[in-house]
Chains A and B, each alone.
Chain A
Amino acid sequence: MEKVFTRPNSLKDIPMHYCPGCTHGIIHRLVAEAIDELDVVDRAIGVAPVGCSVFTYQYFDFDMYQGSHGRAPAVATGIKRVVPDGVVFTYQGDGDLAAIGTAEIVHAAARGEKITVIFVNNAIYAMTGGQMAPTTLMGQKTTTTPFGREANSNGFPIRMSEMLSTLDGASYVSRVSVHDPKNINKAKKSIKKAFEMQIAGAGFTMVEVLSSCPTNWGMSPKEAVKWVESDMIPYYPLGEFKVPSEV
């Protein structure tokens, strides 16, 4: 009997603290598999955010750092400039990246910092108790929009990938989803591609991953992954928004 599926080496064998059905676990695995397959575990340096994935540094078995809220791209910039050989990435949620860290992510991309950003978009502030995030969809109920998000007082959701792909410093920007096994495989390819490009010396690379939050959406895990497909993907279309011209 040959093992066809097992835990990647760079993901520690400890239980994760995430809620049942939270897709953070899947995304952690995809990042760890990409690092393993590219054989860069000795060079990998991750920056954990603030949010549900704040304990990311306990799960990855390589160098990890934890930035203050939203500042992961600034911290990663410093790390990459001091350790140019490092494979430096940030792992950020939508509250972290698209709200408090908007300045850091936009300027990291504009400067073309040679870092990879894994942006986990679940359309809500999850750790703090399900408040509206910049990525919350129109009509979506959260604890701060109990009647659904509406344009008059809450404005419109931000499509970060599209926005950042307009910057010249961004080399690779894509959006993927982990709501079913087929899309999980695609997400894996995209994450691996972003790391490959960083290793090849390209500029800023980002993969936005649509994720589910059953707890704060008030759904079962099965309903939540269906909601990603039926409601999130129509607003946040999947695909590659920026690919290098030479490829």
Chain B
Amino acid sequence: MARVTFREERCKGCELCTAVCPKDLLAMSKHINAMGFHPATITDMEQCNGCATCARMCPDLVIEVEKEGKKVG
């Protein structure tokens, strides 16, 4: 279980994240942000395993990734 959040107002629509997702889950939104770019978004959150490859590729630190931690004990 993972959660990916996008700071849409920071996204410059470069699409680098969409090219590196191993499961091809990222796409550009139809709407535009305040800067006039189509921000990146995730199409299917259920499929995401939180590998954070997209976040590592993003030049503008738009993407934050959370993952269910391993249970202690």
Contacts and interface: CB of A to CB of B under 8 A. Distances in A.
17 contacts: A1-B3, A1-B66, A1-B67, A1-B68, A3-B65, A5-B64, A6-B64, A16-B59, A20-B37, A21-B14, A21-B16, A181-B53, A181-B57, A184-B56, A214-B14, A221-B14, A222-B19
Contacts of A20: 12-14, 37
A181 B15 CA distance: 14
Interface residues of A, number: 29
A16 B14 CA distance: 14
Interface string A1-27: 111111100010001101111111110
A2 B58 CA distance: 20
A47 interface: no
A225 interface: yes
A29 interface: yes
A24 B58 CA distance: 10
Chain B's interface size range is: 20 to 34
B57 A22 contact: no
Interface string A46-58: 0000000000000
Interface of A: 1-7, 11, 15-16, 18-26, 29, 180-181, 184-185, 214, 220-222, 225
Contact of A7 (B19, B52, B61, B67): B61
Of A7, A20, A29, A220, which is in contact with the most chain B CB atoms at under 10 Å from its CB? Answer: A20
A221 B15 contact: yes
B55 interface: yes
Nearest to B68: A1
Interface in B5-61: 10, 12-16, 19-20, 37, 50, 52-53, 55-61
Contacts of A220: 15
Contacts, number: 78
Contact of B56 (A5, A19, A24): A5
Given A2-B68, A5-B65, A26-B59, 9 more contacts: A3-B65, A5-B55, A7-B64, A16-B60, A26-B58, A181-B53, A181-B56, A185-B56, A222-B16
B71 to A, nearest CB: 11
